[in-house]
Amino acid sequence: MPFTASTAPPRGQEHADRECEVSAEASPAGNRIRRIFKGLGLVLGGKAGAGLISLLYLLLATRYLGPADYGVLVLVHAYTTTVCGIIEFPSWQAILRYGAEADRDGGTHRLGRLLRFGAAVELIGGAFAIVSAMVLAPLVGPHLGWSAKALAFAPFYAFAVLGSVRSSPAGYLQLIGRFDLIGLHNLVQPLVRLGGAAIVIGFGWGLRSFLVAWLLAALAEFAVLWSMGLWFAARRFGPGLWKPEPGDVRLENPGIWRFLIASNADVTLRDLAGRVAPLIVGWVLGPAAAGLYSVAQRATVIIAQPAQILGNTSYAELSHIVAEGGDGRSLRQTVAKVVGISLLAALPVVLIVALLPQAIVGLLAGAAFAGAAPVMVVLVVARAIGLIGPPCSAAISALGHPERSMSANLFSSLVFLPALPWLLHSFGLMGAGIQAVGQAMLASALLVVLTWRGSGRMR
């Protein structure tokens, strides 16, 4: 897709587009799978570098702060991201779904209006999330064992919400296929955190300085991705990005508000357990246990991050299948192949973690965090099971029914999340692993059924 103000592709691009069309006709399902995993690979390239950098700042932070202070750091961040996840209003799914239709119909001004609308909705939601996190911090913090310094800084840390308020530019970059830039952006947060951790330790500062470093990392995430998205949008739309032709976004994109509300509720509920679980662990077992749980979760990132990215890259391709009038069989084949490849790729990770849990925890955080090893194994299994969910949710949303995916995630959360405090009292930290496995199994099963039923109604 071109990135200039002109809607006509350059001559070389026309030739490339014709080659893509021929390839798609020859093997449409295989071509879609390649595009999905090409996007995944480009983003994971950045994630791989980010993972290595994250490992370095984790090594520094855990050994310097210890389980209790590291637990407080994790809890302040988890609280902020939880409030953000509940209140924010990301618009990337709507930009991809309706943007794919606008691209198909050549509606350049329609797409420009859609981008402005999505950005406005997301930024307003982010502002509400910041205010809410500020107001609630003094009420929630004491129950999570925050120190006096952490409580005093928590209202300022609310601006870390902005690190998550960036789905509009991400959605546009996905729409134009610039997954390479999304991959590069993944390096921003860990680089700032690593630099901040090195400075804090070098000067012998404490927990509050770590919070400042993590806040700066979140602000950098926000600034860099919005700059990328605006740059490419401005190159394509020119002045039309800031002053598009008159038009009504709601009339041009029928059902967009229903879609936005349902898709956001779906994302919120899908991620709710992962965000709330550390807070419940801290509330019930204290900051040190929350620190152990965070280290155990860190080992699952190698599965969790590709799963999330895979759902996003799948959604972009599945939206095009639906917009182009593809049939249910094509959609099901694409989803099944994506899920199958993902599970096979995750199997070696599960086996390595199961065989070497103590060594992995020792490498990540040191001997003081040895208690994280048993629950880490169970959490990795839960993440592997959860790989089934994102491609199915993407397919359901691409079909225009995100409320069905939302219902599945809501039901599984309502069944297992309220049981977490009892599981923690009964089984200690392992209770969090039991809850994660049960919820992943139930949610995945429901999403598979909904995907197959929904795609069966396509022509």
Rounded-to-integer distance, Cα 277 and Cα 289, Å: 12
2 lies in some domain: no
Of 44-58, 130-144, 203-217, 426-440, minimum mean pLDDT range: 44-58
Please answer whether residues 147 and 282 qualify as being in contact, where contact means their C-beta atoms are separated by less than 8 angstroms. no
Whether residue 309 is predicted with pLDDT greater than 50 in this model: the reply is yes
pTM confidence score: 0.76
Whether residue 37 is predicted with pLDDT greater than 60 in this model: the reply is no
For the chain, how many structural domains are there in total? 1
Confidence of residue 398 (pLDDT cuts 50, 70, 90): confident
The pLDDT tens digits for 324-378 are: 666 677 778 878 877 887 788 778 888 988 999 999 898 888 889 999 999 999 9
53 lies in some domain: yes
24 lies in some domain: no
- Residue 41 confidence (pLDDT): 54
Q: Quick one: tokens of 143? A: 């129950």
Query: Considering only CA atoms, which of 303, 342, 328 is closest in space to residue 398?
Result: 328
Across 22-36, 200-214, 411-425, the highest mean pLDDT is recorded for 200-214
18 lies in some domain: no
Q: How large is the average pLDDT for residues 176-192?
A: 85
Whether residue 93 is predicted with pLDDT greater than 50 in this model: the reply is yes
Across 114-123, 338-347, 432-441, the highest mean pLDDT is recorded for 432-441
- Residue 5 confidence (pLDDT): 35
Confidence of residue 292 (pLDDT cuts 50, 70, 90): very high
Between 218 and 241, where is the model more confident? 218
Across 1-15, 39-53, 142-156, 321-335, the highest mean pLDDT is recorded for 142-156
225 lies in some domain: yes
The secondary element (H helix, E strand) that includes residue 239 is none
> Cα–Cα distances in Å, from 268 out to 88, 117, 275, 410, 454?
9, 21, 10, 9, 22
386 lies in some domain: yes
Query: Considering only CA atoms, which of 407, 103, 456, 405 is closest in space to residue 253?
Result: 103
Between the CA atoms of 200, 202, 204 and 209, what dihedral angle is there, to the nearest 10 degrees? -10
- Residue 319 confidence (pLDDT): 65
- Residue 255 DSSP SS3: coil
- Residue 48 confidence (pLDDT): 60
1 lies in some domain: no
Range of the domain at 243: 29-455
Mean model confidence pLDDT for the chain: 81
13 lies in some domain: no
